Amino acid sequence: MHIPDGYLSPATCGVFGAVMIPIWATASKAVQKTLSVRQVPYLAIGAAFSFVIMMFNVPIPGGSSGHAVGGVLVAILLGPWAACIAITVALVIQALLFGDGGITAIGANCFNMAFVLPFVGYYVYKLISSGSPSGSSRRVIAAGAGAYFGICAAALCAGIEFGIQPLLYHTANGQALYSPYGLKVAIPAMVAVHLLVFGWVEVIVTALVVKYLQKQNSVFFEGGRS
């Protein structure tokens, strides 16, 4: 889901960069208010976890490959704004150091994976888990559901971003200037593989870690500071 340089027009990149600036500013303020000093090391661990889990490319035999993001997990444990910061750090380093995701697409990639993904995931988790005891299996199921909807929503956004390019930017003879695939190709392609495969990878990763942490330290699931 890391959109490389060249697939999005400079204007699209500019729009998403501009959209992300107030989101990052709000995230900084929210983290300042809600995160405790004790949680700062977990913010760092969350960012590192998201980074390394994205390195585990899962193959669709004969097809494409993809990966989990781990971002819904961070949102469940530290809140969606903290997750936004943690995933942004991972995405920026991926782009700069490893060329994974374009530098011009940092705004769009952060919008999809550091904003849409943790927020959709977090609120689905909240909706399903609300009122359940911190050690309950409803929390694990809620975490899995959040993971699934979070990553699929992010994939949908990426599909739309790819898909609008040929509509907006093409030469007189109809050749695309950037992403050559329109909405009818890009959205199904992005969403289907996440609904069928990579969404479930995110579910398994998220549910397993939530289950483990429930046993270790249920403090994570008692609502935390808000």
User: Segment 75-134, which members bind other proteins (CB under 8 A)?
Assistant: 85-86, 89-90, 93-100, 102-104
Binding of other proteins at residue 164 (CB under 8 A)?
Answer: no
Residues ≥6 apart with Cβ < 8 Å to 194 = 66, 151, 152, 154, 155
3-state secondary structure 4-54: CCCCCCHHHHHHHHHHHHHHHHHHHHHHHHHCCHHHHHHHHHHHHHHHHHC
Which residues ranging from 170 to 199 are in contact with other proteins (CB under 8 A)?
Answer: 171, 175-181, 186, 189-190, 193
Query: CA-to-CA distance for 207 and 58, rounded, in angstroms?
Result: 18
Chain-centroid distance, C-alpha 156: 11
Kindly state the DSSP code that residue 184 receives in the 8-state scheme.
H
Instruction: List the structure tokens of 86.
Output: 């943690």
Instruction: Candidates 18, 21, 25, 44: give the one binding other proteins (CB under 8 A).
Output: 44
Q: CB of 129: closest distance to other proteins in angstroms?
A: 21
For other proteins, give the closer residue by CB, 89 or 124. 89
For other proteins, give the closer residue by CB, 44 or 127. 44
Binding of other proteins at residue 26 (CB under 8 A)?
Answer: no
Binding of other proteins at residue 37 (CB under 8 A)?
Answer: yes
Q: How many residues bind other proteins (CB under 8 A)?
A: 76
Q: Which stretch binds other proteins (CB under 8 A): 40-48, 110-118, 128-136, 146-154?
A: 40-48
Question: How many Å is the maximal CA-CA distance in the chain?
Answer: 61
Q: CB of 192: closest distance to other proteins in angstroms?
A: 9
